[in-house]
Amino acid sequence: MGATFSSGAGVGLTGRRRVDMLKDMGTALPPKMDRSWRKSRIAARILLRHEAGRATPRDERLAGILSNDRGVTSRLIDQALYAFSGRPYRLGDASWKKA
């Protein structure tokens, strides 16, 4: 049985409004790391902690906020998970063989 991730009604983790909190996430980012990619990496780390059984209530609140963000997609989370594991990311067929 998995945990249910839910979020508050507009208030972030620090008591600020959610919109203001997400605007402040990264103002000077490297060229390839936009806000959606950065938030997806955070979501991937939360997912790894949840699967390891180490998720905190704070992680669950933040997961609820990120799950409602249109920029955080399953594709970006998958890419982040592959980046953390050191495996190359492959689109499509899992039976693809190296040449």
pLDDT tens per residue across span 35-87 = 899 999 999 999 999 999 999 999 999 999 999 999 999 999 998 998 888 77
Q: What span, in angstroms and rounded, lies between the C-alpha atoms of 61 and 5? A: 7
Q: Are 5 and 67 in contact (CB under 8 A)?
A: yes
Buried b vs exposed e over 79-92: b needs ≥16 C-beta within 10 Å?
bbbeeeeeeeeeee
The pLDDT confidence band at residue 4, using thresholds 50, 70 and 90, is very low
Question: Domain extents for the chain?
Answer: 33-85
* Three-class secondary structure of residue 32 per DSSP: coil
* Three-class secondary structure of residue 17 per DSSP: strand
> In one letter, which amino acid is 12?
G
Confidence (pTM): 0.57
Tell me how many degrees the CA angle 59-66-15 measures, rounded to the nearest 5.
65
